[in-house]
Chains A and B, each alone.
Chain A
Amino acid sequence: DVKVTQSSRYLVKRTGEKVFLECVQDMDHENMFWYRQDPGLGLRLIYFSYDVKMKEKGDIPEGYSVSREKKERFSLILESASTNQTSMYLCASSLWTGPRFGEQYFGPGTRLTVT
Chain B
Amino acid sequence: QKEVEQNSGPLSVPEGAIASLNCTYSDRGSQSFFWYRQYSGKSPELIMFIYSNGDKEDGRFTAQLNKASQYVSLLIRDSQPSDSATYLCAAGSNYKLTFGKGTLLTVNP
Contact = CB atoms under 8 A, between A and B. Distances in A.
Interface string A50-84: 10000010110000000000000000000000000
B16 interface: no
Nearest to B97: A102
A43 B95 contact: no
Interface in B52-102: 88, 90, 92, 95-102
Interface residues of A, number: 25
Contacts of B92: 99, 101-102
Contacts of A90: 43-44
B12 to A, nearest CB: 20
A45 interface: yes
A102 B47 CA distance: 12
Contacts of B34: 102-103
Nearest to B6: A42
Contact of A42 (B33, B45, B51, B101): B101
Nearest to B8: A40
B20 interface: no
B99 A50 contact: no
A106 interface: yes
Contact of B32 (A44, A99, A105, A109): A99
Contact of B45 (A43, A56, A106): A106
A102 B49 contact: yes
A34 interface: no
Interface string A95-115: 000011111111111000000
B7 interface: no
A99 B43 contact: no
B95 A56 contact: yes
A107 B43 contact: yes
Contacts of A44: 99
B96 A58 contact: yes
Interface string A21-61: 00000000001010000001111110010100000101100
A17 to B, nearest CB: 25
B99 to A, nearest CB: 4
